Amino acid sequence: MTPDPSQLTAAQSARLRLAFDDDRDADTFLARLDRYGPELLESLQAVYGEAAGELYQRLTDALVLGTHERPQGLKRLDEARLLRPDWLQQEDALGYVAYTDRFAGTLKGIKAHLPYLKELGVSYLHLMPLLLPREGENDGGYAVADFRAVRPDLGSMQDLSDLGRELRGQGISLCLDLVLNHVAQEHEWAKRAQAGEAKYQAYFHMYQGREQPDAYERTLPEVFPDFAPGNFSWNEASGRWVWTTFNTYQWDLNWGNSEVFLEFVEILTYLANRGVEIFRLDAIAFIWKRLGTDSQNQPEVHVLTRALRAALRIVAPAVAFKAEAIVAPSDLISYLGRGAHHGQLSDMAYHNSLMVQLWSSLASRDVRLFEQALLNFPPKPGNTTWGVYVRCHDDIGWAISDHDAAQAGLSGPDHRRFLSDFYAGEYPGSFASGLVFQHNPRTGDRRISGSAASLAGLERAQALGDGAAETLAIQRLLLLHAVTLGFGGVPLLYMGDELAILNDYSFEGDPLQAADNRWVHRPAMDWDRAEKRQDPGTQAGRMYGGLRQLIRARKRLPHLHASVESEVFRSPNPAVLFLARRHPVGTLLGLYNFSEQPQPFPVAALTPHFGRATDAISGRSVPLVGESITLAPYGRLWLIDEKTPG
C-alpha cells in the first residue's frame, strides 16, 4: 500500500525529534520537513511507487545527518536566504565562469584574484568542473570519478570549503557543476559494476545483447557524432553494452533506481555543506530514458528535480539549482516548473535561445528572427531567473526552430547553414574566426567553437592590423553584453571575455584535447592583458571599460529585477532590437543596433512610454524630439524616464 504523505510525515516527526539534542534545531528541521516533506514523498511515490515509503525514511535520516554536519556559517546563510528568497533575481547579480587552473592555478590561488572579481562586480562564481575526474580524456572534467574529492592539482576538499567561506565573506556565491547524468567509468560504482556486482550494475543501463540498445537507438540523437558516435558502448569486463550518451567513458546512470537518487541527495548535501551555493545540474535533460523517444526532457526528470530540491530545502535552503538544459524553449520552461510544478524546480536555467539569437542577428544584421523567437518564448515562473550569457565553455549549436524561422520569413535549414558558414569564416564578408564542431552529415548540423572576441571579428581585425575593424569588433561585443546585462537574469561572464581574449589554438598540440576543438575557446586567463584593463588606449581597456560601464549601470536599475520579464516589441527598424521591461518602478526600453551603420529609430515608438528619457548606460538625456533618434553603429541605449530615480 502506498503511504499517505501526511500520516507518514507525522509519524516521522516524532521519531526524528529524538535525533536532535537542541530543541530549536529540531523545531527548525521539523518545520522544514513539514513544508517540504509531503512534496518530497509525493515525488518519490510518483517515480518509485511502493519503494517510496522506505526510501523516504532513509532519506530523512540522511537529511538529519546532513543538518548536524552543516557548519554554523552556512546555517546563518540559510536564514539570510529564507529572508531574501529572490537573491538570484536581484539586479546586482553578476556571474563569472572560470576554470580554476586557467584562472588562478589552484583553489588557494583564487583568493589573490578576489579583488579583480570584486572590481568587476561579481556576486556569483562558477568554477568549472573541479571534482576528481578520470585520468586522461575527461570531457573537461565532466567525467567524474569521485564526487567527494577535488582534483589534486587544484587543491583539496578543505581548500574548497575555505574558498567557499572566503567568497561568502565577500558576498560571492560559489557555483559548482553536479553531473547527474553520468559518471566516469573509473568511478567506484562503475568499477564495481564491471566487476559483476549486481547492485552496481543496477546503477547503470547495461544490456547483454544489442536488442534493447538497437531499439533505443532508433529514436536517439547523437551528442558527439564525431568522436563518440552512437549512445551505447561495449564493456569487455562485464560483457555488456552500457548506455553512454556522451563519451564512451561517461556511463549514464539509471535514475529509475532509487539508490541512485539517495546517493545524489547525499552528494548534494556533502557539497552544500562545503559551501556550494548553486548547483549547475549538468545535462539534466538526459537523466530519464524512455523507449521510442529521444530520452530527453521526460516528465520524470522534473519530478526527480522537484524531489531533489525539496530534500535540499530541508537541509540547506540557501542552495539554488541551475538547470543546464540546452533544449527547445517549450521544453526548457519545464525546468523552471510548469503546471503543478510551477516555480518548484530549478531556480535558474540557461537561456540558450537568447545566446543563439544574439549571434544570429549579429551575422544577419537583422533582428526579425530574434523578435519572433522571443515572441514565441513561453513565460517563465515569476520566482525564477535566467542565466544569460554571450559565450560559455561549450560550442554554439544553431538552435533555431523552423517554425520561428518560417514566421520570420526564413528557411530554418538555410539560416542554420548560413550561421555555420558565417561563424566558420567561410561566408563572403564574414568577420568571424570560428571552428566547426561536430559536423553531422545526417542532420546537417555544424556547431561552432570560438571565443566571443574571435567570433565577433577581433582576431581577423588584429591579423590585418585594421584599427577600424578592431573598433567595430569591440562594439559588437559590447552590444551583445548590453543585451544580456539588460535582459533580466544573472549575466554569466565567461572568463576572459571582459578583456576580449581571442581563440587559443594550443589545444591542437595536446593529445588529450586535440580532438575536441571546444578547447579553442577555453584559454588561460591573460593576466598581462588584465593589467592593461584601465588603459582605454588598448583593446582590453576599451572592452573592459565598456563592460564596466554597463555593469555599473545595471546594478543601479531596479527595472532589471528578474521577477519582471523582458518583452519584445516589433521594431520599426529591422536592424534594431526593441525590448521593454515594464517594472512597477518604471519602464526601461532597450534599443540595440545590430548593424555597423548608424540607424534611425522613430521617436513616435518611444513617446508612448515617456516624454523625457535618459540613457541609463551613459547617464545622458536623450531628447525625444523630431522624427527619429539615431543609434550609433552597434549602439545600445537603456532608456528610462528622466524622472525615475536611479
What is the nearest approach in angstroms of ligand GLC to the Cβ of residue 90?
25
| 622 backbone dihedrals φ, ψ, rounded to 5° | -115, 105
Distance CA 623, CA 621 (A): 6
Residue number, 91 or 395, with CB nearest to ligand GLC: 395
Residue number, 326 or 345, with CB nearest to ligand GLC: 326
Which positions ≥6 away from 319 have C-beta within 8 Å? 268, 272, 276, 277, 278, 279, 312
Residue number, 300 or 394, with CB nearest to ligand GLC: 394
Catalytic residue among 252, 324, 347, 565: 324
Grid cell, residue 459, equals 582576431
Q: How far is CA 372 from CA 390, 569, 630, in A?
A: 19, 10, 24
Q: For the stretch 286-317, what's the b/e string if a residue is b when 16 or more beta carbons lie within 10 angstroms of its beta carbon?
A: bbbbeeeeebbbbebbbbbbbbbbbbbbbbbb
Catalytic residue among 282, 366, 395, 421: 282
Grid cell, residue 535, equals 588603459
What is the nearest approach in angstroms of ligand GLC to the Cβ of residue 545?
31
Residue number, 140 or 491, with CB nearest to ligand GLC: 140
Q: Name residues contacting ligand GLC, limited to 175-194 (CB under 6 A).
A: 179
Q: Does residue 140 interact with ligand GLC by CB under 6 A?
A: yes
What is the nearest approach in angstroms of ligand GLC to the Cβ of residue 104?
21
What is the nearest approach in angstroms of ligand GLC to the Cβ of residue 323?
11
Task: Detail the DSSP E strand segments found in 77-235.
Answer: 95-98, 124-127, 131-133, 144-150, 173-179, 182-184, 206-207, 232-235
Residue number, 294 or 394, with CB nearest to ligand GLC: 394
Q: Is 211 a catalytic residue?
A: no
Other C-beta atoms lying within 10 Å of the C-beta of residue 505: 12
Only segment of 135-143, 339-347, 575-583, 624-632 that touches ligand GLC (CB under 6 A): 135-143
Which positions ≥6 away from 623 have C-beta within 8 Å? 612, 629
Question: Letter for the amino acid at 292?
Answer: G
**Strands 621-622 and 144-150: what pairing?**
unpaired
Q: Name residues contacting ligand GLC, limited to 150-179 (CB under 6 A).
A: 179
205 close to 243: Cβ distance less than 8 angstroms: yes
What is the nearest approach in angstroms of ligand GLC to the Cβ of residue 587?
36
Residue with cell 560550442: 395
Instruction: Using CB positions, name the residue nearest to ligand GLC.
Output: 142
Only segment of 139-147, 333-341, 581-589, 621-629 that touches ligand GLC (CB under 6 A): 139-147
Residue number, 334 or 352, with CB nearest to ligand GLC: 352
One symbol per residue from 310 to 329: x for binding ligand GLC (CB under 6 A), - otherwise; what is it? Answer: --------------x-----
Q: Name residues contacting ligand GLC, limited to 436-475 (CB under 6 A).
A: none
Residue number, 139 or 498, with CB nearest to ligand GLC: 139
Distance CA 162, CA 32 (A): 28
Only segment of 136-144, 294-302, 399-407, 425-433 that touches ligand GLC (CB under 6 A): 136-144
Task: Detail the DSSP E strand segments found in 51-130.
Answer: 95-98, 124-127
Contact pick of 139, 445, 470, 596 for ligand GLC (by CB under 6 A): 139
Closest among 501, 556, 552 to 529, alpha carbons compared: 501
Q: How far is CA 510 from CA 210, 506, 514, 520, in A?
A: 35, 7, 6, 12
| 416 backbone dihedrals φ, ψ, rounded to 5° | -65, -40
Q: Is 119 a catalytic residue?
A: no
Q: Name residues contacting ligand GLC, limited to 58-117 (CB under 6 A).
A: none
Q: Does residue 394 interact with ligand GLC by CB under 6 A?
A: yes
Residue number, 284 or 639, with CB nearest to ligand GLC: 284
Q: Name residues contacting ligand GLC, limited to 257-296 (CB under 6 A).
A: 282-283
Distance CA 214, CA 232 (A): 9
Only segment of 138-146, 351-359, 455-463, 637-645 that touches ligand GLC (CB under 6 A): 138-146
What is the nearest approach in angstroms of ligand GLC to the Cβ of residue 509?
21
Residue number, 251 or 422, with CB nearest to ligand GLC: 251
Q: Is 110 exposed, middle or buried (0-12, 13-18, 19+ CB in 10 A)?
A: buried
Binding-site size for ligand GLC (CB under 6 A) equals 10
Grid cell, residue 111, equals 583568493
DSSP 525: P
322 close to 350: Cβ distance less than 8 angstroms: yes
Contact pick of 96, 116, 142, 189 for ligand GLC (by CB under 6 A): 142
Contact pick of 246, 350, 386, 422 for ligand GLC (by CB under 6 A): 246
What is the nearest approach in angstroms of ligand GLC to the Cβ of residue 183?
10
What is the nearest approach in angstroms of ligand GLC to the Cβ of residue 393?
6
| Residue ranges that bind ligand GLC, judged by CB under 6 A | 139-140, 142, 179, 246, 282-283, 324, 393-394
| Active site (catalytic) residues | 282, 324
